[in-house]
Amino acid sequence: MMRKNLRGAYFVSVAIMIASLGGCGYHFAGGRPSREVGQYVLAGPIIENHTRHPGLDLILAEAINHRFILEGLPLLKPTGETEAHIRCSIRSLDIKPISFRRNLTAREYRITMILDAALEGRRESPNPWSAKGIILTRTYRVQSTIVATEREKKAALEAIGFDAALIIADGILRGF
**Confidence check: pLDDT of 160 > 90:** yes
Mean pLDDT of the 147-156 span: 95
- pLDDT tens digit sequence for 75-98: 766 556 677 788 999 999 999 999
For the chain, the domains span 1-31, 38-174
Task: Enter the DSSP assignment of 78.
Answer: -
- pLDDT tens digit sequence for 35-79: 444 445 677 788 999 999 999 999 999 999 999 888 887 776 655
Measuring CA to CA, which residue among 154, 46, 48 is closest to residue 109?
A: 154
Helices (H) and strands (E) counted in the chain, each on its own, are 3, 4
Least confident of 56-60, 80-84, 142-146, 158-162: 80-84
Separation of CA 27 from chain center: 17
Q: What is the pTM of this model?
A: 0.71
Q: What is the residue-averaged pLDDT of the chain? A: 80
Look at residue 112 in the predicted model and tell me its pLDDT. Answer: 97
Residues 6+ apart with CB under 8 A from 38: 84, 121, 123, 125, 128
Q: Is the dihedral of CA 40, 43, 48, 54 positive or negative?
A: positive
Q: How many angstroms separate the CA atoms of 64 and 61, rounded? A: 5
At the fourth CATH level, the homologous superfamily of domain 38-174 is Lipoprotein like domain (3.30.160.150)
Q: How many angstroms separate the CA atoms of 117 and 61, rounded? A: 12
